[in-house]
Amino acid sequence: MIHTRMEKLAQKIEEQLHAIDQKSIDQFVESLINTKRIFIVGAGRSGLVAKAFGMRLMHLGFTVYIVGEVITPAINKDDLLIVVSGSGQTLSAVVAATIAKEKGVKIVGITSNPDSDIGKLSDVVVQIKGRRPEDAKRDYEARQLTGNHEPLTPLGTLFELSAMVFLDSIIDELMLKYRKSEDELRKLHADLE
């Protein structure tokens, strides 16, 4: 039963990833390459995905800050803010994006909802469809009719897993672009653990 669930989940993630617009991917990668400092924000599980991406960027040699950490400096117009939010409405992320926008910072929003506050504030929107609230209601009704009462991907799971795979693929692309080996990344890996 678990193997069947894993296969269904992997299939859903694959469907989500194939739906991402290539132009937005190219703009995202270009934004990463053309900035000196990167700030990343997300909350909850999306925040964990954001932090994992930030860590990998640091391993590649980028200057990265996670919004909310005590060592994060002020952001300025030459920086890049990456916002990871499935709903695009998470208050802390919207506040961070609003402040960055007021300072003229370029913003990349990674969200399921390009019409959200995050989507509207972003210069580049990478849409990872995930499972929207209206889909959850429709899925619930369909599951009731078919006798399948548990969702495969509750809450934001589909967005978060898809975002993690997408962002790790960006890291792989950057490794190739900068000709970085895993050994080079390992040199920047934390050693005070």
**Active-site amino acid positions:** 160
Are 166 and 53 in contact, with CB atoms under 8 Å apart?
A: no
Q: Which residue has tokens 């269904």?
A: 8
Dihedral over Cα of 164, 170, 173, 174: its sign: negative
Q: Residues with Cβ < 8 Å from 114, sequence gap 6 or more?
A: 88, 125, 127
Burial class (CB in 10 A: 0-12, 13-18, 19+), 192: exposed
The helix or strand, by DSSP H or E, that contains position 111, with its residue range, turns out to be: strand 106-111
CA distance 111 to 87: 6
